[in-house]
Amino acid sequence: MAETPPGEVTQLLQAWSGGDGAALEQLTALVHDELRRLAARYMRRERPGHTLQTSALINEAYLRLVDARHVQWQNRAHFFAVSAQVMRRILIDVARSRQNLKRGGGARPISLDEALAASPERSADLLALDEALERLAVLSPRQSQVVELRYFGGLTEDEMAEVLHVSPRTVRHDWGLARAWLYRELTRET
Amino acid sequence: MTPERWERVGSLYAAASELPTERRADFLRDACGDDHALRDEVASLLASGEAAGAFLNSGAIADAAKIVAHESVGSLVGRTLDHYEVVSLVGSGGMGEVYRAHDSRLGRDVAIKVLPELVTQSDDARRRFVREAQAVAALSHPNVRSLYDVGETDGHVYAVMELLEGETLRARLARGPLPVQKAIETGAAIADGLAAAHARGIVHRDIKPENIFIGSSGHVKVLDFGLAKMPDAPGVGANAETATGIVIGTAGYMSPEQVAGMAVDARSDIFSFGCVLYEMLARRRAFERRTSAETMTAVLNDEPPPLEAAGAGVRRIVSHCLEKQPEARFQSAQDLAFHLRSQLNLVDTEKHADARTDRRRLWPALAALFTIATVVLSLVHFRQAASPVRPVRFDVQPPEHLTFSGGAFALSPDGARLAFVTASGETPGHRRLWIHAFDTGEAQQLSAAGDVGGNALAWSPDGRKLAFVAEGSLRTIALSGGSPTTLAPAVGVSTWSADDVIMFLRDLRLMKVSAAGGSATPLTTPDPAHREVHYAPQFLPDGRHFLFSRSSVAGGTSGVLVGSIDARPEQQNSRPLLATHGRAAYAPSRDDAQVGHLVFNREGTLWAQPFDAGRLELTGDPILIAEHVGEPENPQRPGFFSVSRAGALAYRRQPTVSGIPVWLEANGRTTTPLLDSPVTGSEQIRLSPDGHRYAMTIAGDIWVYDLGGRPPIRLTSGGGNDMPLWTPDGKRIVYARGIPSYRLVSVPADVAGATPEPVSPDGHFHPHGWSRDGRELIAVLNTYSSATGWDILGIPVGEKGEPRIIVGTASDEGQAGAALSPDGRWLAYTSNVTGASEIWVQPYPGPGSPILVSPHGGMDPHWAPNGRNLYYLENRKLMAVAVDVGKPAFTFTPAAFLFDIPAPAASFPVQSYDVAKDGRFIMGKAVSTGASSPITVILNWAAALTK
């Protein structure tokens, strides 16, 4: 047996797969906690008075995790990799549903004010980014995965290095190059 | 661009970005030579990298949040806040929006006031709101609008209140004057409501016609105690909140002391009430000037114009309310109500008086009953304590049709009750909190607690409240009833000190918060370098020190430590007490709280070790209390327990699934089990090619069992290994190694602990079969890309060469299994291209089109050794597709049901199986799922130790 137990998330996952449903709830709470923190930070900084549908995000995460139960989590790194994947799918679905909503005529004109609020950091167009990531995966699957792990999964450099079995330096390089390439792809005039 | 060229771009980019900006152009010119396209590409990327700014840095959630946030401005109508379905907007204003909503749990309509987000962003404001709401929620009076609940969800802080039909006094006054009699009745009712609030120490501070409601049936309610402040607690500086410059109240109804910014009490409300009464009678405001500054000056200095409408008695009452000095006014709202009623006719006065007397009489009677009940209970306990002390052991079963939820149970401090959480089968979101009393043997549900999560509970030291985690927040609830109080976001809670400090888990560390509310502060700092997690805190009797567990993944040590709430978070790591992967709790002895035992779990066994809580030292050797509480070989599954102050101990075995491999005949009949005793967590059975042995995964390691009865061999150790597959010659086993990286490796099938040899490149593969010539290993790969999902690959055996993709689309192929037909012509595999996992068959080695063979979903395909049947699982059913092997095309008859398979022998919910040459099936059969295991309680457990 391993000499040391894995981190909490893995423990929770193992407990969960061991039939302890409460563990999944704890896991969900962990994710929820993080989302709340992010959402609150975002709200404070930029647009007070607006609402976030974090619970919708979480519910989706929860359902998808349950669906993905037959995926065997073997360690923390694997879990992170899978979570990043799950988060990516969820967030892309969110973006897609918004887009459909707009196409479907439920469109609300976006004021200049809001457009300005959105532009300074160029909040990434998630759908375009998703597609660009697929193109990047053709050139370098690892670089594409680095973006997935960091941007969608929130992994640190060291964690990514662990998942990908490369040095943190390589991860840093991959991230820099991938980001430059993606930025160019997404800002390219068409 | 090819991957090779991209690699070249990448290395130039890396080298160039190390250089100062001005030297990059020269470097690229030299490095790229004539390849201008290459040079331009790298330069363009460098420029893009410089321009990218904070692009992607904030993370996808934040970006998604922005997309969502920019759309959902405004109304919550149609949304659901927790279990409240928001129906319509009733009104909005500076202090938030009020909605009509439906409480789907209690099936009633309610009003919901949502605080403006600007307010809720301030921890201070939110805390004040919650605290005040708690005060109001405790107040139940017919003339005060009831506050049912306070919640926080999706960043909204809201209060749930009684839904009222009717109009505000302001609206009523706008329609015309109130008859004098009616005005007095209304005034008396308002005074009754105020009196009830004042009796609980709640001052309204903003009494005005907008905050008085007249129901359709004429019933009067005081609204918006949400603004009410608790009077300063003794010993707390004078009126700190007013001093910070928050002006509460409405000019024109404020008392002189409020205008002056001095401390206010109930008598301030009486002044405001006087203004309202005046306005009802006079149809004009008592103090009204052009600006609020002038109005406030008038409040301080002027007398309102004389009232003409009312009689002398009523006029006296009004002016007595409006005295500038609080001491000169009515001193209580109760007196005020009395005097008002004395102005009404005699009959009414008597009616009210009688009703009040009756209530007063009833209470002493009830109180007496409670006293008797308490005495009886104490006697029962006393007798237990007085009899010869012997351990008493019994099991508590979950209520019917429910199971206990993990380790979420706790003994009350007096050891007479057990709080626990139940789960309802597989249904998420049905966790309920219960209290089981040992004297009556009955369990009562605390439905108000909602959907309880986490894996622990904590009792308040007086045994009257419970702390728990629900919907991601730490909450407390009084057992006597009422709504829960939300304290802070949390993932677990397990201890509550005599000083009303609650410790809970968040962000992998311990946090503390006062049970009365306030901000939560971290108590420990896990060492990130060692990937530490801190959990399971338990206060020691002094309320200053506590036990907690630490686990570490990377190089640190796991164990139980002593912490102090007076120490800085980073200093808590210094006092290790016990080495264990479990948790510990302190159980004082019967006669001295300072000496007792530490109860802890280690390697699946529950132990008690003498402990001096004063000196914080272990003083003896551990004594075994119960075995098989957890899994000895699995530190992540140590089992659960709880101890009380009064000599009771409860534990629950870790729910584990154990099972035995069995043969099933073609008709589904089970023959003799293949092992004498069940094993825990066995799965993925694979028969050897000669059929004499089978391999399976047990708790992350690969074992080989001999059907002839020779002892089993454990091929791997360390966990993280699964999916065994025999090589065609039966000499080796290929399996998926998970640590330190994913890769297919192989080991000899008859040697324990051999060094694995690599079979595949790095990647998350599962092996599923061999081509007939043995030169290609068929494996599935999780590509971790939504563009490709899981794919089926052919890996060349024993020679150099890249794996080839056999089936690779955006869907997940082979995720739930793949199998090559015995003649090597057909590959059966799962794919979710239709949205559900189905069985498909396509020519091997390809090319060719896939054919769908499962009508209603399928997993884990296997071929009969003669190739005439293709089996697969449709949930718990084993299905068979008959194949016409003589035809060049894949020809089959639709799937037929064979038999229901037994529940799998591991917690992994999908059964796995293999098919023997003689047509029998081998699979694991669950012997016990453990989910229904009871909680075992031992009273006077320490008595057993002294023997």
Residues A37 and A128 in one domain: no
Q: Count CB-CB contacts under 10 A for residue B710.
A: 12
Query: What confidence tens digit (pLDDT) does each residue in A37-53 have?
Result: 444 444 443 333 333 33
CA distance to partner chain B, nearest, from residue A54 (Å): 6
Reported as a pLDDT band with limits 50, 70 and 90, residue A162 is confident
pLDDT at residue B904 is higher than 80: no
Nearest-angstrom CA–CA distance, B824 and B773: 9
- B418 within some domain: yes
Residues A81 and A151 in one domain: yes
Task: Check CB contact under 8 Å for A35 and B61.
Answer: yes
Q: Please, what is the average pLDDT of chain A?
A: 58
What would the mean pLDDT of B693-709 be, rounded to a whole number?
89
Determine the residue of chain A that is closest to B59 in CA distance. Answer: A151
Range from B139-143, B268-272, B481-485 that averages highest in pLDDT: B268-272
Residues B784 and B851 in one domain: yes
Please say whether the beta carbons of A118 and B66 come within 8 A: yes
- A167 within some domain: yes
Reported as a pLDDT band with limits 50, 70 and 90, residue A115 is very low
Chain B hits for A95, Cβ within 8 Å: 64, 67
Reported as a pLDDT band with limits 50, 70 and 90, residue B628 is confident
Q: Please, what is the average pLDDT of chain B?
A: 81
Domain-ending residue, one of B350, B384, B409: B350
What would the mean pLDDT of B726-739 be, rounded to a whole number?
91
Query: What confidence tens digit (pLDDT) does each residue in B295-334 have?
Result: 777 888 888 988 887 788 888 899 999 999 999 999 999 9
Domain-ending residue, one of A58, A74, A90: A74
For chain B, percent helix, then strand, then coil, each to nearest 5? 25, 35, 40
Q: Count CB-CB contacts under 10 A for residue B187.
A: 28
Residues B882 and B753 in one domain: yes
Nearest-angstrom CA–CA distance, B351 and B348: 5
What do you get for the CA distance between the two ends of chain B, in Å?
Answer: 80
Q: Count CB-CB contacts under 10 A for residue B171.
A: 13
Chosen from B9, B57, B73, B154 to mutate, greatest number of chain A CBs within 10 A:
B154
Residues B439 and B571 in one domain: yes
Task: Check CB contact under 8 Å for A74 and B490.
Answer: no
- B524 within some domain: yes
Put simply, the chain B residues between 370 and 409 with a CB less than 8 A from any chain A CB are: 405-408
Q: Taking the model in full, what pTM does it have?
A: 0.41
Nearest-angstrom CA–CA distance, B401 and A143: 50
3-state SS assignment for residue B838:
strand
- B265 within some domain: yes
For B27, counting Cβ atoms within 10 Å of its Cβ (0-12 exposed, 13-18 middle, 19+ buried), the class is middle
Residues B761 and B838 in one domain: yes
Residues A32 and A67 in one domain: yes
Determine the residue of chain A that is closest to B425 in CA distance. Answer: A21
Report whether the peptide linkage leading into residue B845 is cis, meaning its omega lies within 30 degrees of zero.
Answer: yes
Please say whether the beta carbons of B421 and A22 come within 8 A: yes
Residues A97 and A34 in one domain: no
* A141 at B interface, C-beta within 8 A: yes
pLDDT-wise least confident of B378-392, B601-615, B871-885: B378-392
Domain count, chain A: 2
Reported as a pLDDT band with limits 50, 70 and 90, residue B25 is confident
Residues A22 and A80 in one domain: no
Task: Check CB contact under 8 Å for A33 and B506.
Answer: yes
* Domain interval for residue B433: 393-656+934-944
Range from A115-124, B670-679, B839-848 that averages highest in pLDDT: B839-848
Chain B hits for A114, Cβ within 8 Å: 70
What would the mean pLDDT of B792-808 be, rounded to a whole number?
89
Prediction ipTM score: 0.70
Range from B86-100, B369-383, B497-511 that averages highest in pLDDT: B497-511
Residues B620 and B663 in one domain: no
- A108 within some domain: no
Nearest in space to B867 (alpha carbons), one of B890, B896, B848: B890
Residues A47 and A84 in one domain: no
What would the mean pLDDT of B697-707 be, rounded to a whole number?
88
Residue B121: CATH number of its domain? 3.30.200.20
Residues B554 and B631 in one domain: yes
Please give the radius of gyration of chain B, using alpha carbons only, rounded to the nearest integer: 37
Q: What pLDDT score was predicted for residue B528? A: 67
pLDDT at residue B137 is higher than 80: no
Percentage of residues in chain B with pLDDT exceeding 90? 31
Q: What pLDDT score was predicted for residue B123? A: 65
Residues B400 and B340 in one domain: no
Residue scoring higher pLDDT (B671 or B272): B272
pLDDT-wise least confident of B269-273, B316-320, B457-461, B795-799: B795-799
What would the mean pLDDT of A51-61 be, rounded to a whole number?
38
Put simply, the chain B residues between 599 and 638 with a CB less than 8 A from any chain A CB are: 633-637
Please say whether the beta carbons of B169 and B175 come within 8 A: no
CA distance to partner chain B, nearest, from residue A175 (Å): 10
Percentage of residues in chain B with pLDDT exceeding 70? 83
Domain count, chain B: 5
Nearest CB to A154 within list B59, B489, B741 = B59
**HSE-CB of B165 using CA atoms within 13 angstroms:** 3
Chain B hits for A149, Cβ within 8 Å: none
Range from A26-40, A41-55, A152-166 that averages highest in pLDDT: A152-166
Nearest-angstrom CA–CA distance, B629 and B652: 7
Residues A140 and A181 in one domain: yes
Reported as a pLDDT band with limits 50, 70 and 90, residue A66 is very low
Range from A26-40, B200-214, B363-377 that averages highest in pLDDT: B200-214
Angle between helices A76-101 and B60-69 (to 10 degrees): 20
Residues B270 and B319 in one domain: yes
Query: What confidence tens digit (pLDDT) does each residue in B57-72 have?
Result: 767 766 665 554 443 3
Residues A83 and A58 in one domain: no
Residues B479 and B516 in one domain: yes
Put simply, the chain B residues between 808 and 847 with a CB less than 8 A from any chain A CB are: 815-816
- B365 within some domain: no
Residues A38 and A2 in one domain: yes
Reported as a pLDDT band with limits 50, 70 and 90, residue A104 is very low
* B58 at A interface, C-beta within 8 A: yes
Task: Check CB contact under 8 Å for A11 and B551.
Answer: yes
Residue scoring higher pLDDT (A10 or B161): B161
Residue scoring higher pLDDT (A172 or B114): A172
Largest Cα separation within chain A, whole Å, is: 60
- A17 within some domain: yes
Nearest-angstrom CA–CA distance, B199 and B272: 18
Number of H helices, E strands in chain B: 15, 59
Nearest-angstrom CA–CA distance, B789 and B764: 12
Task: Check CB contact under 8 Å for A6 and B553.
Answer: yes
pLDDT at residue A59 is higher than 60: no
Q: What pLDDT score was predicted for residue B409? A: 93
Task: Check CB contact under 8 Å for B423 and A22.
Answer: yes
Percentage of residues in chain A with pLDDT exceeding 70? 34
Q: What pLDDT score was predicted for residue B636? A: 60
Residues A40 and A19 in one domain: yes
Nearest-angstrom CA–CA distance, B144 and B400: 40
- A118 within some domain: no
> Which structure tokens are listed for B419?
């709080």
Nearest-angstrom CA–CA distance, B790 and B765: 9
pLDDT-wise least confident of A72-76, B218-222, B546-550, B866-870: A72-76
Residue scoring higher pLDDT (B712 or B129): B712
Nearest CB to A26 within list B3, B492, B507 = B492
Nearest-angstrom CA–CA distance, B908 and B408: 22
Q: What pLDDT score was predicted for residue A68? A: 44
* Domain interval for residue A47: 1-74
Beta strands in B576-681 (DSSP E): 576-578, 584-588, 595-602, 605-612, 617-618, 623-626, 640-643, 648-652, 658-664, 670-673, 679-680
3-state SS assignment for residue B248:
coil
- B372 within some domain: no
Residue scoring higher pLDDT (A123 or B848): B848
- B378 within some domain: no
What would the mean pLDDT of B270-287 be, rounded to a whole number?
92
Nearest CB to B65 within list A2, A18, A39 = A39
- B161 within some domain: no
Reported as a pLDDT band with limits 50, 70 and 90, residue B351 is very low
- B375 within some domain: no
Q: What pLDDT score was predicted for residue A67? A: 42
- A6 within some domain: yes
Residues A44 and A89 in one domain: no
Residues B764 and B816 in one domain: yes
Nearest-angstrom CA–CA distance, B306 and B368: 51
CA B546 vs CA B304, B390, B501, B527, B561: distances in Å:
62, 29, 12, 19, 8
Q: What pLDDT score was predicted for residue B220? A: 93
Residue B562: CATH number of its domain? 2.120.10.30
pLDDT at residue B887 is higher than 50: yes
pLDDT-wise least confident of A81-85, B80-84, B881-885: A81-85
Residues A82 and A61 in one domain: no
Chain B hits for A147, Cβ within 8 Å: 56
Residues B755 and B829 in one domain: yes
pLDDT-wise least confident of A54-63, B190-199, B213-222, B742-751: A54-63
Chain A hits for B408, Cβ within 8 Å: 22
> Which structure tokens are listed for B71?
């759309």
- A113 within some domain: no
pLDDT at residue B659 is higher than 60: yes
pLDDT at residue B348 is higher than 50: no
Reported as a pLDDT band with limits 50, 70 and 90, residue A127 is confident
Residues in chain B: 947
3-state SS assignment for residue B211:
helix
Residues B541 and B435 in one domain: yes
What would the mean pLDDT of A8-23 be, rounded to a whole number?
46
